[in-house]
Amino acid sequence: MNLSNRESPPDFGLKIISLTGARGYNLLFSGLTVDVAPGNFVALVGPNGSGKTTLLRMLAGLITPEAGEIERPPEVREQGPFYLGHESGLRPNETPLSHLKDWADLHHATSAGISAAIERVGLTERAMVPAHALSAGQKRRLCLARTLVAPRQLWLLDEPAAALDLHGQMLLCALIREHVAQGGICVAALHDPLDIEPDLTINLKDYQP
């Protein structure tokens, strides 16, 4: 799938219906009902421990809700979301080039755009450097390049600006803007606002049980 080749925007977004989230015996949020339209950028906010990561992982299908439902668009059900957590998931000895080749293979994507993706995130000079020798911000940029190699309709980003310098933050915002302009959905857990006006803000403080 390439969102940029889409003939018309998708007409089905993400529906969150009466969702309750818990970790262990700890109830985090309940009664969360939100309708996210295609092309929406959603800011997910709330204090430390309020359940932002938990909700993102639920939306990714990695954690089962205590109650409620999540309805995903057909493309997301078929291909899964793009999930960016706190950890890069990079193996110490893989380079940006080898990592993105593996990422393309794993996600049944073409490797034709890998060099362009590396250039877009500003890692051309570091393309052959093993991950253990990349800085935190460079690793984050490499994680963002995954979105260019294997496009996905739903992006779930956990503190995506962490470790990014000003240019990196501008790059992140540009990627999100382009994604939602093509009908994609982006839900991002944020402590500091990005330079993008959210279409919707979910504040988990409002859903504390």
Ligand X SMILES: Nc1ncnc2c1ncn2[C@@H]1O[C@H](COP(=O)(O)OP(=O)(O)OP(=O)(O)O)[C@@H](O)[C@H]1O
Residues that bind ligand X in the complex, under the rule CB under 6 A: 23-24, 26, 28, 46, 48-54
* Residue 40 and residue 199 in contact, taking contact as beta carbons nearer than 8 Å: yes
> What token pair was written down for 170?
């501008």
Report CA-CA distances (Å) from 131 to 46, 97, 134, 138: 32, 10, 5, 9
Phi-psi region of 171 (alpha: psi -120 to 50; beta: other; left: phi over 0): alpha
CA distances from 62 to 56, 81, 161 (A): 9, 11, 22
Which CB sits closer to ligand X, 52 or 179? 52
Q: How far is the CB of 189 from ligand X (least distance, A)?
A: 6
CA dist 24 and 61 (Å) reads: 17
CB 174 to ligand X: min, Å: 25
User: Considering beta carbons, is residue 40 or 50 the nearer one to ligand X?
Assistant: 50
Provide the minimum distance between the beta carbon of 59 and ligand X in the complex, in angstroms, as a whole number: 12
Q: Which long-range contacts (CB under 8 A, 24 or more apart) does 115-124 make?
A: 116/148, 117/145, 117/148, 117/149, 118/145, 120/145, 120/148, 120/171, 121/145, 121/148, 121/171, 122/167, 122/168, 122/171, 123/96
By C-beta, is 87 or 125 nearer to ligand X?
87
CB of residue 208 vs ligand X: minimum separation in angstroms?
Answer: 11
CA separation for the pair 81, 79 (Å, rounded): 7
- Name the minimum Å distance from CB 78 to ligand X: 27
Q: Which of residues 79 and 201 has its CB atom nearest to ligand X in the complex?
A: 201
Nearer to ligand X, 29 or 103 (CB): 29
φ/ψ (deg, to 5) at 56: -60, -40
Residue 46 vs 184, nearer CB to ligand X:
46
